[in-house]
A = this chain, B = another copy of it.
Amino acid sequence: MAPLFHPSRDDITLAGVLSALADPMRLRIVKGLMEQSDCMSCTAAAPCPDIPKSTLSNHFRILREAGLIQTTKKGVEHRNVVREADLNARFPKLLKTILASAE
């Protein structure tokens, strides 16, 4: 199986981050992950239970390729964490400010 692609810190772009977070569902996923301060599987991090799997998988791919989350395969499930350190290094306060705007 092909390994999951993650951009390096320097390859994270502002446009990529903004367009990834411009989707309400993806924003909620990231918000949920931040609140957990722990890894979560894709289904556990889903904002509502009735989302088609393929749709969810697609959203996680977009978040991953934008550099917002780090996904590691752990057995049968995928563990996701927000790449806070990388994001803060690249775009200081951006993530926090966006999440604060999403009340």
Q: List the interface of chain A (C-beta within 8 A of B).
A: 14-15, 18-19, 21-24, 27, 90-94, 97-98, 100-102
Contact = CB atoms under 8 A, between A and B. Distances in A.
* Identical chains in the assembly: 2
Contact of A18 (B22, B90, B92, B100): B22
- The DSSP consensus for interface residues of chain A is helix
B15 A22 contact: yes
Contact of A14 (B15, B91, B93, B98): B98
A7 B62 CA distance: 29
A98 to B, nearest CB: 7
A7 to B, nearest CB: 16
Contacts of A98: 14, 18, 94, 97
A31 B97 CA distance: 18
